[in-house]
Amino acid sequence: NAGVMQNPRHLVRRRGQEARLRCSPMKGHSHVYWYRQLPEEGLKFMVYLQKENIIDESGMPKERFSAEFPKEGPSILRIQQVVRGDSAAYFCASSPPVLNTEAFFGQGTRLTVV
Amino acid sequence: GQSLEQPSEVTAVEGAIVQINCTYQTSGFYGLSWYQQHDGGAPTFLSYNALDGLEETGRFSSFLSRSDSYGYLLLQELQMKDSASYFCAVRRGSTLGRLYFGRGTQLTVWP
C-alpha cells in the first residue's frame, strides 16, 4: 500500500511562471490537505478538500493560488505567476473518511522560484 | 486566533530522556498531536491526545492537560536516529488532518 505520493519532489520556476504540484492520496483516502512550510518554521494549513469539493480554504492566499481534487486523478495545487516568496516546501496529507484517525503526509514538493 | 509555543532546540545524549513542552492558546480545542520530521522530509505522526493524561507508545509518551493548555512529548532511551524536528499541532475539529502546527523543536542527540 503506497503512501501519499507527491510529484515533483523538486520544482524550479522563474518568476511569473505557473507551478503545478500533484498529490495522490493513500488508497482509500478521500480527504486531502495541503500545507506550506518555510525554512525553520512549522507547517501552515492551506486547504482541505474532499473529492470534487473544497471544504476549507481558509489558509489559501486570496490570489494566484487554487486547489482541486477531481473525481479521478490526483489533487492539484496550482500557483499562478509565482514570486520569490512562494519558494517553500509544500506538503500534502491524506486521511480516510473515518473520524479519529491520523493524517499521513507525503514527502513534499520543494518549490524554488528564481 | 491560535498560538503554540515550544522550545526551538533541545540537546541530549544517547540513552537519556528528554521532554519537549508545548503550550497553546486556541479556541475550539479538540486535541493535541505530535509529529516528527527528519531533514525536511515527510512529517510522521507520533501520537494524539484528546483527553487529559499520558499516552504511551513504545519509547515515546505524550501528555495533555486541557485545563493548563499544556502538553509534552517524552522521549526515552534516546537514539541517534531520534535527532529530528518535533512539532506539536492543535486539532480544532473532528477532521484529524486539519492541524495548526507549532514552529517545531530541533532535537539533537549526541553519542
* Residue-wise pLDDT tens digits, A3-35: 999 999 999 999 999 999 999 999 988 899 999
pLDDT the model gives residue A90: 98
- The grid coordinates listed for A1 are 500500500
Label residue B106 by pLDDT band (50, 70, 90): very high
* Residue-wise pLDDT tens digits, B9-66: 999 999 999 999 999 998 888 899 999 999 989 999 999 999 999 999 899 999 999 9
Label residue A50 by pLDDT band (50, 70, 90): very high
User: What is the Cα–Cα distance from B39 to B104, expressed in whole angstroms?
Assistant: 12
Q: Is A16 exposed, middle or buried (0-12, 13-18, 19+ CB in 10 A)?
A: exposed
CA-based nearest residue to A7, from A53, A71, A75:
A75
Q: Are A65 and A46 in contact (CB under 8 A)?
A: yes
Which of B40, B97, B104 shows the shortest C-beta gap to A103? Answer: B97
Q: Nearest residue on chain A to B42, judged by CA atoms? A: A107
Chain A residues with beta carbon closer than 8 angstroms to that of B42 = 3-4, 91, 105-108
- The grid coordinates listed for B97 are 488532518
- The grid coordinates listed for B87 are 512539532
pLDDT the model gives residue B27: 81
pLDDT the model gives residue A101: 65
Say how many CA atoms lie within 13 Å of B99 toward its Cβ. Answer: 34
Label residue B102 by pLDDT band (50, 70, 90): very high
- Residue A13's alpha-carbon distances to A69, A85, A108, A111, in angstroms, are 23, 12, 16, 8
pLDDT the model gives residue A42: 87
